[in-house]
Amino acid sequence: MATPLMDLKLPAPEAMFFVCGPTASGKSAHALEVAREIGGEIMNADAFQLYRGVEILTAAPSEGDRAMLPHHLYGVLEPSEAVDAMAYLRRVVPVIEEILSRGKTPVITGGSGLYLKFLSHGPSPLPPGDPALRKELDALPLEEIVGRLQALDPVEAARTDLRNRRYVSRALEVCLMAGVPCSTLRDDWENASEERAEKLRGVFLQRDRETLHRRIGLRTRAIFEGGAIEEVRGLEGAAAGLEKAIGVAEIRRLLAGEIDRTACEELINAATRQYAKRQETWFKREAWLAQRIC
């Protein structure tokens, strides 16, 4: 079975520069500074900024910023189009190659950790789940699927919690679907990821909690004053992923008369602070990123 990367070659890790960090940390401004210094162009790695028609809600780079240097993959999707990390990777790699062909450096910036991970390290080669096979395995006793995993992949079995049916079932599912041990796929990918990480370049912007929360509050106020309510009012048939963007559900409640503007802003601020905390946790695990305290 082919893995997701067999027909897609990732750009050389040293050819890109990453600017990562939680929402409202100042990634867009810092990416512009870096791009000007190294002769680069800005590449979007924010799942929601891929969509057009929600530029205010998603705090996409302003027209003024975009006029300073070329920006890529902002507002390229209709709200109804679905996208995931793999679809993003297939879209972004050709654009990066085109930038490199002109002697420029792609400066990748955004807060979508998985999108960045797919581009920096490559996607996991593990095949997606198969509902029919999962149903078949779920019908078997735990002891039987443990025995089958131990027979097919003793290495993976030894490092799996064999009391956890979900873990055992997934490892066995991968073995059966890929035709090779799950441990082989994992280990090969991890080794390749470590090799890439040694050559990756990038920064992780950090701000103290009080400052970040203040900036989040200012951003929320700015999107309201900029027209986010009108954007959500006109948002029809949005893809499930876009519906998850912070502010969409909250503003819909405002438009329905369920809450007032003050409550709406408070809900958006709270959701954004929680999201920023998750982002910080994600990026702190990426040891190759140089931490920059702002």
Q: Write the burial class of residue 107 (CB in 10 Å: 0-12 exposed, 13-18 middle, 19+ buried).
A: buried
Instruction: Decide if 23 is inside a domain.
Output: yes
Which residue range is the domain that position 157 belongs to?
A: 131-188
Instruction: Decide if 194 is inside a domain.
Output: no
Q: Are residues 36 and 93 in the same domain?
A: yes
Q: Are residues 25 and 114 in the same domain?
A: yes
| pLDDT < 50 positions in the chain | 1-6
Q: What is the pTM of this model?
A: 0.85
User: DSSP string of 110-136?
Assistant: -S-HHHHHHHHH----SPPP-HHHHHH
Q: Are residues 106 and 211 in the same domain?
A: yes
Q: Are residues 40 and 93 in the same domain?
A: yes
What pLDDT is attached to residue 193?
A: 86
Instruction: Decide if 4 is inside a domain.
Output: no
What pLDDT is attached to residue 293?
A: 83
The domain spanning residue 275 has which CATH number?
3.40.50.300
Instruction: Decide if 289 is inside a domain.
Output: yes
Instruction: Decide if 200 is inside a domain.
Output: no
Q: Are residues 222 and 265 in the same domain?
A: yes
Q: Are residues 225 and 111 in the same domain?
A: yes
- Burial profile 44-83: b = 16 or more Cβ within 10 angstroms, e = fewer: bbbbbbbbebbbbbbbbbeeeebeebebbbbbebebeeeb
Q: Is 175 left (phi over 0), alpha (psi -120 to 50) or beta?
A: alpha
Q: Are residues 119 and 135 in the same domain?
A: no
Instruction: Decide if 67 is inside a domain.
Output: yes
Integer CA distances (angstroms), 13 to 24, 46, 158, 192, 207, in order: 26, 19, 33, 12, 27
Q: Cβ distance 17 to 108 under 8 Å?
A: yes
User: DSSP string of 216-275?
Assistant: HHHHHHHHHHHTHHHHHHT--S--HHHHTSTTHHHHHHHHTTSS-HHHHHHHHHHHHHHH
The domain spanning residue 168 has which CATH number?
1.10.20
Instruction: Decide if 261 is inside a domain.
Output: yes
Tally the domains of the chain: 2
What's the pLDDT tens digit per position in 75-131? 999 999 999 999 999 999 999 999 999 999 999 999 999 999 999 999 888 888 889
What's the pLDDT tens digit per position in 260-272? 999 999 999 999 9
Q: Are residues 117 and 149 in the same domain?
A: no
Q: Are residues 24 and 114 in the same domain?
A: yes
- Closest alpha carbon to 172 in 182, 185, 186: 182
Q: Are residues 245 and 166 in the same domain?
A: no
Instruction: Decide if 45 is inside a domain.
Output: yes
End of a domain among 188, 217, 232? Answer: 188
The DSSP bridge pattern shows strands 105-109 and 202-206 to be unpaired
Q: Are residues 276 and 231 in the same domain?
A: yes
Q: Are residues 90 and 154 in the same domain?
A: no
Longest dimension (CA), the chain: 62
Q: How many residues does the chain have?
A: 294
What pLDDT is attached to residue 8?
A: 76
- Closest alpha carbon to 43 in 127, 99, 86, 120: 99
